[in-house]
Amino acid sequence: MPDPTPATTPPTVAPAGPEEPRRRALRELLHPRWSRGQAVAAILLAGLGFAAAVQVRSNDQDQNFTGARQSDLIALINSLSLAAERARDEIDQLTRTRDQLRGSTSSDSAALRLAREQERTWGILAGTLAVRGPGVRITVDPRGAGVGTDQILNGLQELRDAGAESIEINDRVRVVAQTAITDTSGGGGRVAAIRVDGVTLQPPYVIDVIGDPDTLSSGVDFQGGFVTEVEDVGGAVRVERAQRIEITSLHATQRLRYATPDPQDPEGSGE
Protein backbone atom coordinates (compact mmCIF):
# COMPACT_ATOMS: atom_id res chain seq x y z
CA MET A 1 0.00 0.00 0.00
CA PRO A 2 1.51 3.22 -0.98
CA ASP A 3 2.59 5.73 1.72
CA PRO A 4 -0.07 8.45 1.94
CA THR A 5 2.59 11.06 2.85
CA PRO A 6 3.80 12.73 -0.26
CA ALA A 7 7.49 12.89 -0.71
CA THR A 8 9.09 16.32 -0.33
CA THR A 9 11.00 17.28 -3.36
CA PRO A 10 13.90 19.68 -2.72
CA PRO A 11 13.68 22.93 -4.69
CA THR A 12 15.64 23.01 -7.78
CA VAL A 13 18.39 25.67 -7.76
CA ALA A 14 18.92 27.15 -11.12
CA PRO A 15 22.51 27.40 -12.11
CA ALA A 16 24.02 30.88 -11.92
CA GLY A 17 23.58 32.56 -15.19
CA PRO A 18 25.93 35.09 -16.71
CA GLU A 19 24.10 37.98 -14.99
CA GLU A 20 24.94 36.83 -11.42
CA PRO A 21 28.69 37.70 -11.42
CA ARG A 22 27.86 41.11 -12.83
CA ARG A 23 25.39 41.81 -10.03
CA ARG A 24 27.92 40.68 -7.44
CA ALA A 25 30.59 42.96 -8.90
CA LEU A 26 28.13 45.86 -8.92
CA ARG A 27 27.26 45.30 -5.23
CA GLU A 28 30.95 45.22 -4.28
CA LEU A 29 31.54 48.42 -6.23
CA LEU A 30 28.65 50.24 -4.51
CA HIS A 31 29.48 48.85 -1.05
CA PRO A 32 33.27 48.41 -0.93
CA ARG A 33 34.99 46.75 1.96
CA TRP A 34 37.68 49.06 3.37
CA SER A 35 40.80 47.61 4.85
CA ARG A 36 42.68 49.47 7.60
CA GLY A 37 45.49 50.42 5.24
CA GLN A 38 43.08 51.80 2.68
CA ALA A 39 41.30 53.88 5.35
CA VAL A 40 44.58 55.39 6.60
CA ALA A 41 45.65 56.18 3.05
CA ALA A 42 42.33 57.88 2.35
CA ILE A 43 42.63 60.05 5.48
CA LEU A 44 46.18 61.08 4.57
CA LEU A 45 45.18 61.95 1.01
CA ALA A 46 42.23 64.01 2.29
CA GLY A 47 44.50 65.92 4.68
CA LEU A 48 47.02 66.53 1.90
CA GLY A 49 44.29 67.88 -0.36
CA PHE A 50 43.01 70.19 2.39
CA ALA A 51 46.52 71.54 3.05
CA ALA A 52 47.05 72.16 -0.65
CA ALA A 53 43.76 74.04 -0.90
CA VAL A 54 44.63 76.21 2.11
CA GLN A 55 48.06 76.98 0.67
CA VAL A 56 46.60 77.97 -2.69
CA ARG A 57 44.07 80.23 -1.01
CA SER A 58 46.78 81.78 1.16
CA ASN A 59 48.89 82.47 -1.91
CA ASP A 60 45.90 84.07 -3.61
CA GLN A 61 45.29 86.37 -0.63
CA ASP A 62 48.92 87.40 -0.06
CA GLN A 63 50.38 88.77 -3.25
CA ASN A 64 52.68 91.41 -1.70
CA PHE A 65 55.73 90.10 -3.54
CA THR A 66 54.05 88.81 -6.67
CA GLY A 67 55.84 90.24 -9.66
CA ALA A 68 58.78 91.48 -7.60
CA ARG A 69 62.15 91.41 -9.27
CA GLN A 70 64.58 88.70 -8.24
CA SER A 71 67.14 91.32 -7.25
CA ASP A 72 64.56 92.97 -4.94
CA LEU A 73 63.78 89.67 -3.22
CA ILE A 74 67.49 88.88 -2.81
CA ALA A 75 68.11 92.34 -1.35
CA LEU A 76 65.24 91.90 1.09
CA ILE A 77 66.50 88.48 2.19
CA ASN A 78 70.01 89.86 2.66
CA SER A 79 68.62 92.72 4.74
CA LEU A 80 66.72 90.31 6.98
CA SER A 81 69.78 88.07 7.31
CA LEU A 82 71.98 91.00 8.35
CA ALA A 83 69.37 92.14 10.87
CA ALA A 84 69.26 88.64 12.37
CA GLU A 85 73.07 88.57 12.50
CA ARG A 86 73.13 91.91 14.33
CA ALA A 87 70.62 90.58 16.84
CA ARG A 88 72.76 87.49 17.46
CA ASP A 89 75.87 89.64 17.94
CA GLU A 90 74.02 91.82 20.42
CA ILE A 91 72.87 88.75 22.35
CA ASP A 92 76.45 87.45 22.48
CA GLN A 93 77.72 90.83 23.71
CA LEU A 94 75.06 91.03 26.41
CA THR A 95 75.85 87.48 27.48
CA ARG A 96 79.57 88.30 27.83
CA THR A 97 78.73 91.44 29.81
CA ARG A 98 76.49 89.45 32.13
CA ASP A 99 79.25 86.90 32.72
CA GLN A 100 81.73 89.68 33.50
CA LEU A 101 79.35 91.30 35.96
CA ARG A 102 78.90 87.99 37.74
CA GLY A 103 82.64 87.66 38.31
CA SER A 104 83.83 88.84 41.71
CA THR A 105 87.23 90.21 40.63
CA SER A 106 86.20 92.27 37.60
CA SER A 107 82.61 93.15 38.52
CA ASP A 108 83.38 96.76 39.52
CA SER A 109 85.41 97.61 36.41
CA ALA A 110 82.93 95.82 34.14
CA ALA A 111 80.02 97.67 35.71
CA LEU A 112 81.77 101.03 35.23
CA ARG A 113 82.64 100.24 31.62
CA LEU A 114 79.09 99.09 30.95
CA ALA A 115 77.65 102.27 32.47
CA ARG A 116 79.87 104.42 30.23
CA GLU A 117 78.93 102.43 27.14
CA GLN A 118 75.26 102.74 27.96
CA GLU A 119 75.64 106.47 28.50
CA ARG A 120 77.12 106.88 25.01
CA THR A 121 74.54 104.56 23.45
CA TRP A 122 71.60 106.34 25.03
CA GLY A 123 73.09 109.69 24.09
CA ILE A 124 73.26 108.63 20.45
CA LEU A 125 69.73 107.20 20.48
CA ALA A 126 68.35 110.27 22.24
CA GLY A 127 70.11 112.55 19.76
CA THR A 128 72.09 114.46 22.40
CA LEU A 129 75.52 113.50 21.01
CA ALA A 130 77.05 114.29 17.62
CA VAL A 131 78.06 111.16 15.73
CA ARG A 132 79.89 110.07 12.61
CA GLY A 133 80.31 106.81 10.75
CA PRO A 134 79.46 104.93 7.55
CA GLY A 135 75.97 105.09 6.14
CA VAL A 136 73.89 106.51 3.32
CA ARG A 137 72.68 109.90 2.12
CA ILE A 138 69.16 109.84 0.68
CA THR A 139 67.95 112.79 -1.39
CA VAL A 140 64.20 113.05 -1.91
CA ASP A 141 63.03 115.41 -4.66
CA PRO A 142 59.23 115.81 -4.66
CA ARG A 143 59.26 117.45 -8.12
CA GLY A 144 56.11 119.33 -7.22
CA ALA A 145 54.32 116.08 -6.39
CA GLY A 146 52.60 115.02 -3.19
CA VAL A 147 55.62 113.69 -1.32
CA GLY A 148 54.97 114.38 2.34
CA THR A 149 54.43 112.87 5.75
CA ASP A 150 53.17 109.48 4.56
CA GLN A 151 56.21 108.74 2.41
CA ILE A 152 58.80 110.26 4.77
CA LEU A 153 57.47 108.40 7.80
CA ASN A 154 57.47 105.09 5.93
CA GLY A 155 61.02 105.74 4.77
CA LEU A 156 62.22 106.50 8.30
CA GLN A 157 60.59 103.33 9.59
CA GLU A 158 62.23 101.24 6.87
CA LEU A 159 65.60 102.77 7.77
CA ARG A 160 65.09 101.93 11.43
CA ASP A 161 64.14 98.37 10.49
CA ALA A 162 67.35 98.18 8.42
CA GLY A 163 69.47 99.07 11.47
CA ALA A 164 69.80 102.87 11.28
CA GLU A 165 71.63 104.11 14.37
CA SER A 166 71.28 107.86 13.80
CA ILE A 167 69.19 109.94 11.35
CA GLU A 168 69.25 113.62 10.42
CA ILE A 169 67.17 115.60 7.89
CA ASN A 170 68.50 118.60 5.95
CA ASP A 171 71.40 119.04 8.40
CA ARG A 172 68.94 120.67 10.79
CA VAL A 173 66.76 118.15 12.61
CA ARG A 174 67.83 115.03 14.47
CA VAL A 175 65.29 112.23 14.16
CA VAL A 176 64.61 110.34 17.39
CA ALA A 177 61.83 108.12 18.71
CA GLN A 178 59.68 111.11 19.70
CA THR A 179 60.09 112.98 16.39
CA ALA A 180 56.83 114.33 14.96
CA ILE A 181 56.33 115.08 11.24
CA THR A 182 53.46 117.03 9.69
CA ASP A 183 52.69 118.45 6.23
CA THR A 184 52.63 122.10 5.24
CA SER A 185 49.95 122.75 2.64
CA GLY A 186 50.82 124.71 -0.46
CA GLY A 187 47.25 125.13 -1.71
CA GLY A 188 45.14 122.84 -3.80
CA GLY A 189 45.93 119.91 -1.52
CA ARG A 190 49.58 119.95 -2.58
CA VAL A 191 52.29 119.40 0.06
CA ALA A 192 54.66 122.37 0.00
CA ALA A 193 57.03 121.28 2.77
CA ILE A 194 57.21 119.18 5.92
CA ARG A 195 57.52 120.29 9.51
CA VAL A 196 59.76 118.09 11.67
CA ASP A 197 59.62 118.73 15.43
CA GLY A 198 58.31 122.20 14.71
CA VAL A 199 61.04 123.05 12.16
CA THR A 200 59.82 123.69 8.61
CA LEU A 201 62.02 121.93 6.04
CA GLN A 202 61.90 122.81 2.36
CA PRO A 203 62.48 120.22 -0.39
CA PRO A 204 64.57 118.54 -1.53
CA TYR A 205 64.86 116.52 1.67
CA VAL A 206 68.33 115.18 2.43
CA ILE A 207 68.31 112.33 4.93
CA ASP A 208 71.67 111.37 6.42
CA VAL A 209 71.71 107.94 8.04
CA ILE A 210 74.48 106.14 9.94
CA GLY A 211 74.55 102.35 9.77
CA ASP A 212 75.63 99.58 7.43
CA PRO A 213 75.53 101.19 3.95
CA ASP A 214 74.53 98.06 2.04
CA THR A 215 71.77 97.12 4.46
CA LEU A 216 70.38 100.64 4.59
CA SER A 217 70.34 101.08 0.82
CA SER A 218 68.63 97.75 0.22
CA GLY A 219 66.23 98.46 3.09
CA VAL A 220 64.60 101.35 1.20
CA ASP A 221 65.12 100.32 -2.43
CA PHE A 222 62.95 97.28 -3.04
CA GLN A 223 59.62 96.66 -4.74
CA GLY A 224 56.94 98.44 -2.71
CA GLY A 225 59.46 100.20 -0.45
CA PHE A 226 60.28 103.85 0.19
CA VAL A 227 61.79 104.53 -3.23
CA THR A 228 58.79 102.97 -4.97
CA GLU A 229 56.31 104.96 -2.86
CA VAL A 230 57.99 108.27 -3.71
CA GLU A 231 58.19 107.42 -7.41
CA ASP A 232 54.53 106.36 -7.46
CA VAL A 233 53.46 109.92 -6.54
CA GLY A 234 55.84 111.52 -9.05
CA GLY A 235 58.91 112.16 -6.90
CA ALA A 236 62.48 110.93 -7.22
CA VAL A 237 64.94 109.39 -4.77
CA ARG A 238 68.72 109.10 -4.93
CA VAL A 239 70.54 106.80 -2.49
CA GLU A 240 74.30 107.26 -2.06
CA ARG A 241 76.52 105.03 0.06
CA ALA A 242 79.23 106.76 2.06
CA GLN A 243 82.01 105.63 4.37
CA ARG A 244 81.73 108.77 6.49
CA ILE A 245 78.51 110.51 7.45
CA GLU A 246 78.59 113.30 10.04
CA ILE A 247 75.48 114.14 12.05
CA THR A 248 75.92 117.23 14.20
CA SER A 249 72.39 118.48 14.93
CA LEU A 250 71.21 117.68 18.44
CA HIS A 251 67.79 116.94 19.82
CA ALA A 252 66.66 119.09 22.72
CA THR A 253 65.49 116.83 25.52
CA GLN A 254 62.15 117.55 27.12
CA ARG A 255 61.30 117.46 30.78
CA LEU A 256 59.01 114.53 31.46
CA ARG A 257 55.70 115.48 33.05
CA TYR A 258 53.86 112.17 33.29
CA ALA A 259 56.29 109.25 33.04
CA THR A 260 58.03 108.30 36.27
CA PRO A 261 60.15 105.26 37.23
CA ASP A 262 58.35 102.24 38.60
CA PRO A 263 58.74 102.37 42.43
CA GLN A 264 58.89 98.58 42.50
CA ASP A 265 61.84 98.61 40.10
CA PRO A 266 63.84 101.73 41.01
CA GLU A 267 66.97 100.66 39.14
CA GLY A 268 65.11 99.98 35.92
CA SER A 269 66.25 96.37 35.81
CA GLY A 270 62.93 95.23 34.37
CA GLU A 271 62.97 92.14 36.57
**Does any domain span residue 92?**
yes
Q: How far is CA 159 from CA 40, 130, 135, 154, in A?
A: 52, 19, 11, 9
Q: Looking at the DSSP assignment, which residues form a beta bridge with residue 237?
A: 140
Does the pTM surpass 0.85? The reply is no
The pLDDT of residue 83: 73
For residue 209, what are the contacts with CB-CB under 8 A and spacing of at least 6? 135, 136, 137, 138, 159, 164, 166, 167, 216, 245
The pLDDT of residue 52: 56
**Does any domain span residue 205?**
yes
In whole angstroms, give the CA distance from residue 87 to residue 215.
Answer: 14
Lowest mean pLDDT among 136-140, 258-262, 263-267: 263-267
In the sheet with 181-185, reading across from the earlier edge strand, the strands are 181-185, 191-196, 199-201
pLDDT at 129 over 60: yes
Q: How far is CA 247 from CA 113, 157, 168, 181, 268, in A?
A: 25, 19, 6, 19, 30
In whole angstroms, give the CA distance from residue 168 to residue 249.
Answer: 7
CATH number of the domain enclosing 201: 3.30.70.1880
The pLDDT of residue 77: 75
Number of domains into which the chain is organized: 1
**Does any domain span residue 110?**
yes
**Does any domain span residue 137?**
yes
**Does any domain span residue 130?**
yes
Write out pLDDT tens, residues 175-190.
998 899 999 876 666 7
Could you tell me which residue, 62 or 182, shows the higher pLDDT?
Answer: 182
Residue 90's domain comprises 69-251
In whole angstroms, give the CA distance from residue 263 to residue 207.
Answer: 40
**Does any domain span residue 79?**
yes
Secondary structure percentages of the chain, helix, strand, coil, to 5: 45, 20, 40
Q: Is 51 helix (H, G, I), strand (E, B) or coil?
A: helix
**Does any domain span residue 206?**
yes
Among 159, 143, 132, residue whose Cα is nearest residue 242: 132
**Does any domain span residue 38?**
no
